[in-house]
Amino acid sequence: MPIYSVFNFNLQTSILLPELFEVDRSPDVVLKFDKLSAYHYKHDGGFCYRGKISNILRFIVYDGKEIIIEPLNDVDLDLVRSALYGPIFSILLRQLELLVLHGSCIALQDSVITFLGHSRAGKSTLAEAFYCQNYLVITDDVLAISLDTDYPQVLPSIPRIKLWPDSALAMGHQLEQLPPIHNNSSKRAHLLPQTSITTLPLSSIYILGQSSEISITKLSPQQAFLELLKNTRAAKVLNHPSFVELHFKQCTTLLHKIPTYLLSRPFDLSAVFKTIKEVEDHENRIHRTLSPTC
């Protein structure tokens, strides 16, 4: 069975995952397709999570090492992959004691900045615009952060950017050249080239907001903490006490080390490159000279 590398772990599975890269390594996580009735793992809202995603599939994620998926009603495999890459991987990464946020992440010369926000806040569009300016996109949608070292490290995720059709067209793409993420979605997948990066330190967090003018303001610790809670993936479903305790500790640790800003800008595709310039100027002032990594 093929083994794929993503988020710095190696996943063994019987299905093709064309967005990921095959490796010749021992697996850390095994993905199986099977009837869940064959498994007697007890749901605890943490180390063992049993769930269902709409009429697509039922699944178990166990101890950060095992994923069992039972597709429903001859569902399209692309729908299964979409569920795997989003909610199922998010639960797995939380079991691996990573802080998992809803955001995109852009590489600088030696570190990364991240953009957090709700669905349709413009995270992916901003990531795509940075990519058009020759910046490296480390992650889109599922942002995994390790806090095991002195400085928070971001793990590279699935090498793609998911774009709504209007954003794809505004960034110069032809829709017929970008595959849909699955047959029931109008979103398109911009597949990115493989990168050798394993982790990069995080230097700034930007929360995306909307206003008539572009502005960047530093958030108070209380405001930043609430934003991290709002933008944590799988926060509501993983309610085991130890997971809740670790989540709060991780958010507090991250905010002690990384500044958080509110990035307000017009919700207008024509303003996206001006927004990039404002972020570049801001990073120049507070951290370092910002320049593309590629």
Interval 52-69: pLDDT, tens? 998 899 999 999 999 999
Q: Which of 155, 161, 162 is nearest to 137 (CA)?
A: 161
Helical (H) or strand (E) element with 55: none
The residue with tokens 């697996």 is 27
Amino acid present at 28: D
At 51, is the secondary structure helix, strand, or coil?
Answer: strand
Q: Are 140 and 175 in contact (CB under 8 A)?
A: no
State yes or no: pLDDT of 283 exceeds 60: yes
Distance CA 18, CA 31 (A): 15
Q: What is the pLDDT of residue 285?
A: 86
**200 φ, ψ to 5°?**
-140, 145
State yes or no: pLDDT of 291 exceeds 60: no
Burial class of 40 by CB neighbour count within 10 A (0 to 12, 13 to 18, 19+) = exposed
Domain covering 99-286 in this structure, CATH number: 3.40.50
Give CA 130 to chain center in angstroms. 16
**166 φ, ψ to 5°?**
-65, -35
Q: What is the pLDDT of residue 288?
A: 53
Q: In this structure, how many other beta carbons lie within 10 angstroms of the beta carbon of residue 19?
A: 17
- The structure tokens listed for 129 are 């615009």
CA angle 244, 8, 144 (to 5 degrees): 35
Burial class of 79 by CB neighbour count within 10 A (0 to 12, 13 to 18, 19+) = buried
Q: Which of 49-53, 70-74, 224-228, 242-246 has the lowest average pLDDT?
A: 70-74
Mean per-residue pLDDT, 248-255 = 97
**Distances from the Cα of 74 to the Cαs of 57, 77, 141, in angstroms?**
10, 9, 27
State yes or no: pLDDT of 293 exceeds 70: no
Strands 200-210 and 260-265: parallel
Please write the tens of the pLDDT for every residue from 206-219: 999 999 999 999 99
Q: What is the pLDDT of residue 138?
A: 94
Please write the tens of the pLDDT for every residue from 28-55: 999 999 999 999 999 999 999 999 998 8
Helical (H) or strand (E) element with 234: none
Q: What percent of the chain has pLDDT over 90?
A: 81
- The structure tokens listed for 159 are 């090498």
Most confident of 167-176, 239-248, 264-273: 239-248
Give CA 154 to chain center in angstroms. 10
Q: Are 15 and 77 in contact (CB under 8 A)?
A: yes
Query: Residue 258 has what DSSP assignment?
Result: S
Mean per-residue pLDDT, 245-269 = 95
For the chain, the average pLDDT equals: 92
All CATH 3.40.50 domain ranges of the chain, comma separated, are: 99-286
Distance CA 106, CA 127 (A): 7
State yes or no: pLDDT of 117 exceeds 50: yes
State yes or no: pLDDT of 294 exceeds 60: no
State yes or no: pLDDT of 224 exceeds 80: yes
